[in-house]
């Protein structure tokens, strides 16, 4: 069988990514010493790359699948298939300005404050394309400059025509740029503590981002690769779903069984087994974590011997299968 090339992110996504892979059942070794760690699946080849690069490498077919932030998928404009929101590393991409600028509380305010004075608006960011698109959608920007593209400045090239609004590529420490080297920044924040420490305030949220599993579209057309990619998808989706669920076991008397079942939300259908004591049953089911406290009074009233587990994974195999397999399974069920 062909190997599936799987790109894993370096940096702030790294720790949570390896935790998810390990919770999915993968055993990974050597990541402290190499960018090509070993994995316990002989049909997967791991490689550690920067999250900024992963959408490009997957889109170009250099890697078959990868984990990165949705912010980098949008920034690079890579033509990839987003298979799954992994729901970790939740961050906001924000526009921030110095806290001392009390009259500036939005992008429109910033432009209205500086442009009439003939000032060049300087924005520092790693997200050149997202920032440029965001500016061009702003009504004040459009009033001043119509649809002209802001100037984007890197050490290697310049792009755009509007020199009155310039976007400078940042190589890190973006929060340190204002006020001397930039009027504003566009950067990711999780808690906002770093902005606060650097006397900045977030005035607009441009987008929200989480880690996502992406795939090369041609790789999904290869039958062998597609099956392995969906193995990975199934296991990771199991972890995502498992983090939202609780696995509960209760013992219930026969007289209370039907009322309990009527009031107990289940993943699909609960498992009901007779106990050795006549007239008693064990009910085994998976419920949404958020519903547990709501269900607890009912369980206390009707059941006995409640046991609660946090599931490692919840694998909804029919939902994670490739479309052809799903269609065949559906046809079998209907027959």
Q: What is the pTM of this model?
A: 0.85
CB 205 within 8 A of CB 92: yes
201 and 159 in one domain?
Answer: yes
Question: Domain range holding 281?
Answer: 245-309
Q: 222 pLDDT exceeds 60?
A: yes
The CA distance from 291 to 308, in Å, is: 13
The per-residue pLDDT for range 241-294, each reduced to its tens digit, is 888 888 888 898 988 988 888 887 766 678 889 988 888 999 888 888 888 888
203 and 96 in one domain?
Answer: yes
CB 184 within 8 A of CB 84: no
Q: Which of 120-124, 187-191, 255-259, 317-321 has the highest mean pLDDT?
A: 120-124
pLDDT band for position 317 (50/70/90)? Answer: low
Last residue of a domain, one of 209, 226, 258: 209
What CATH code is carried by the domain that includes residue 236?
Answer: 3.40.190.10
Q: What percent of the chain has pLDDT over 70?
A: 92
User: In this predicted structure, what is the pLDDT of residue 110?
Assistant: 97
Q: 239 pLDDT exceeds 60?
A: yes
Does residue 318 fall inside a structural domain? no
The CA distance from 38 to 290, in Å, is: 37
The CA distance from 180 to 106, in Å, is: 20
When pLDDT is averaged across residues 158-181 and rounded to a whole number, the result is: 95
User: In this predicted structure, what is the pLDDT of residue 268?
Assistant: 66
CB 309 within 8 A of CB 242: no
Of 226, 214, 224, 218, residue with least CA distance to 323: 226
Does residue 325 fall inside a structural domain? no
User: In this predicted structure, what is the pLDDT of residue 244?
Assistant: 86
- Count Cβ atoms below 10 Å from residue 144 Cβ, excluding itself: 16
Does residue 329 fall inside a structural domain? no
Separation in Å, CA 297 to CA 189, 256, 294, 300: 40, 14, 7, 5
């Amino acid at each position: 069988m062909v190997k599936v090339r799987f790109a894993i992110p370096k940096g702030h996504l790294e720790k949570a990514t390896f935790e998810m892979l390990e919770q999915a059942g993968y055993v990974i070794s050597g990541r402290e010493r190499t960018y090509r760690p070993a994995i316990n699946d002989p049909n997967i080849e791991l490689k550690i790359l920067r999250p900024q690069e992963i959408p490009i490498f997957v889109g170009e077919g250099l890697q078959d699948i990868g984990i990165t932030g949705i912010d980098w998928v949008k920034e690079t404009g890579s033509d990839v298939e987003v298979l799954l929101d992994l729901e970790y590393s939740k961050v906001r991409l924000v526009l921030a300005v110095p806290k001392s600028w009390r009259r500036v509380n939005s992008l429109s305010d910033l432009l209205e404050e500086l442009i009439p004075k003939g000032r060049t608006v300087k924005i520092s960011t790693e997200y050149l394309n997202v920032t440029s698109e965001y500016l061009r959608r702003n009504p004040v920007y459009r009033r001043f400059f119509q649809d002209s593209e802001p100037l984007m400045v890197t050490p290697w090239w310049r792009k755009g025509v509007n020199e009155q609004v310039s976007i400078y590529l940042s190589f890190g420490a973006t929060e340190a740029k204002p006020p001397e080297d930039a009027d504003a920044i566009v950067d990711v924040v999780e808690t906002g503590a770093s902005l606060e420490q650097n006397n900045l305030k977030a005035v607009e949220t441009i987008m929200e981002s989480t880690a996502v599993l992406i795939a090369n579209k041609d790789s999904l057309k290869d039958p062998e690769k597609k099956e392995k990619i969906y193995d990975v998808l199934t296991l990771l989706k199991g972890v995502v779903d498992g983090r939202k669920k609780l696995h509960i076991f209760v013992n219930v008397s026969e007289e209370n069984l039907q009322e309990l079942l009527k009031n107990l939300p289940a993943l699909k259908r609960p498992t009901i087994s007779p106990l050795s004591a006549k007239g008693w049953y064990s009910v085994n089911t998976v419920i949404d974590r958020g519903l547990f406290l709501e269900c607890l009074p009912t369980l206390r009233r009707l059941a006995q011997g409640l046991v609660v587990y946090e599931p490692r994974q919840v694998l909804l195999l029919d939902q994670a299968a490739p479309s052809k397999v799903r269609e065949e399974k559906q046809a079998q069920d209907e027959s």
